[in-house]
């Protein structure tokens, strides 16, 4: 929802609930963070030094935002009103005023050279920002630049084709393989590493507006534990979500090694599989339910338009509705802006919503979705 907060369409308060209001009543809430994991001895240590033994462990630690890995970025976010980031509650409320304030020059939007949560969010704000400029009458004086470390605009070609047409029609310049490495707030310059350069060359852009997406990783406490693989992600089987070494450990969400987009939609589908497999293991049985890599990205392209991308591990579209979801639709925007937050708070957090598989079967008359 923070994309919509950054575009002035929602408030930060609408995205929040007190933790006490969403936890199950029969859950013991330990109000400390886990700082050390010892899966060989089935224990973890909390921030106060307390050791907790467990029979089974589910790791759902999310991602850590590493703003400090980009030189000068934290300083710029704190000192320059024209530098913002929708990924952090401290900075998301800066975005809309900054979009309103820019009158001319470069409006730069970035995507880092790491896995990120909600990968589409980096470009959703590009489209919403460009629309704001048009509505204000300043678009002809502003160059809209999307500088991404990736080599494609989106990983699934069906939806990428739509997005390439959109950026072309709206004169948004996409600079591929550009990774933000430094921000100079005093001179309002952003330095990008050219990832395809063998000599490690950089290029510098002046900015009048900068939306920065930080590098991300699993939290340090997780990365320093025996739970992770060589790349620093909790190492689970891609289909069962069970740990590859410790049979009584499961994980889901952004901190895992699962090779799919890190989204809430993915978490919902992973949860259904994890629930069944963890229950089976507790009963002494094998994990039999299989996660297919389903993930979804509602690519908001305007204040009333959205491309609803849904896909699996192999990049095959897995569309819920019996329409071509690669087209910009008003209905999909309503789904993103108004239905999905309710699904999150009242479905996913309550353990009721396990992803759209059942809806997909109904929408496609039980025959399975059409392969595109």
Catalytic machinery residues:
118, 297
The CA distance from 290 to 41, in Å, is: 28
Distance of alpha carbon 284 from alpha carbon 247, whole angstroms: 11
* Torsion region of 330: left, alpha or beta (phi above 0 gives left; psi -120 to 50 gives alpha): alpha
Are the C-beta atoms of 67 and 260 separated by less than 8 Å? no
Report the distance separating Cα 355 and Cα 312, nearest Å.
13
* Buried-state track 293-304, b at ≥16 Cβ within 10 A, e below 16: bbbbbbbbbbbb
Angle between helices 121-136 and 92-101 (to 10 degrees): 30
Does residue 189 contact residue 205 with C-beta atoms inside 8 Å? Answer: yes
Maximum alpha-carbon separation in the chain: 66
């Amino acid at each position: 929802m923070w994309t919509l907060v950054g575009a002035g369409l929602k408030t930060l308060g609408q995205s929040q609930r007190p933790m006490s209001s969403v936890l199950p009543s029969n859950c013991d809430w330990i109000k400390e963070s886990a700082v050390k994991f010892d899966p060989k001895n089935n224990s973890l240590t909390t921030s106060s030094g307390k050791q907790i033994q467990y029979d089974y462990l589910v790791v759902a630690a999310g991602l850590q935002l590493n703003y400090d890995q980009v030189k000068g970025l934290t300083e710029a976010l704190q000192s320059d009103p024209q530098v913002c980031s929708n990924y952090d509650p401290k900075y998301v409320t800066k975005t809309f005023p900054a979009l309103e304030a820019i009158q001319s020059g470069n409006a730069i939007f970035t995507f880092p050279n790491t896995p990120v949560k909600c990968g589409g969010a980096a470009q959703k704000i590009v489209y919403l920002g460009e629309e704001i400029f048009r509505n204000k009458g300043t678009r002809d004086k502003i160059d809209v630049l999307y500088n991404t470390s990736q080599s494609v605009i989106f990983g699934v070609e069906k939806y990428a084709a739509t997005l390439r047409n959109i950026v072309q029609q709206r004169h948004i310049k996409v600079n591929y393989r550009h990774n933000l490495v430094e921000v100079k707030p005093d001179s309002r310059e952003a330095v990008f590493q050219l990832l395809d350069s063998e000599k490690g060359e950089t290029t510098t852009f002046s900015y009048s507006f900068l939306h920065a997406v930080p590098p991300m990783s699993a939290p340090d406490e997780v990365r320093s534990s025996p739970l992770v693989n060589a790349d620093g992600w909790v190492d689970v089987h891609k289909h069962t979500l069970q740990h590859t070494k410790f049979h009584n450990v499961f994980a889901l969400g952004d901190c895992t090694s699962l090779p799919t987009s890190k989204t809430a939609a993915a978490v919902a589908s992973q949860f259904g599989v994890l629930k069944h497999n963890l229950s089976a293991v507790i009963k002494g049985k094998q994990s039999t339910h299989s996660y297919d890599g389903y993930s979804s990205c509602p690519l908001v392209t305007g204040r009333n338009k959205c491309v609803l991308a849904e896909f699996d591990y192999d990049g095959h579209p897995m569309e819920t509705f019996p329409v071509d979801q690669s087209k910009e639709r008003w209905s999909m925007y309503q789904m993103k802006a108004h239905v999905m937050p309710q699904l999150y708070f009242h479905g996913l957090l309550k353990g009721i919503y396990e992803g759209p598989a059942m809806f997909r079967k109904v929408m496609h008359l039980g025959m399975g979705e059409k392969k595109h």
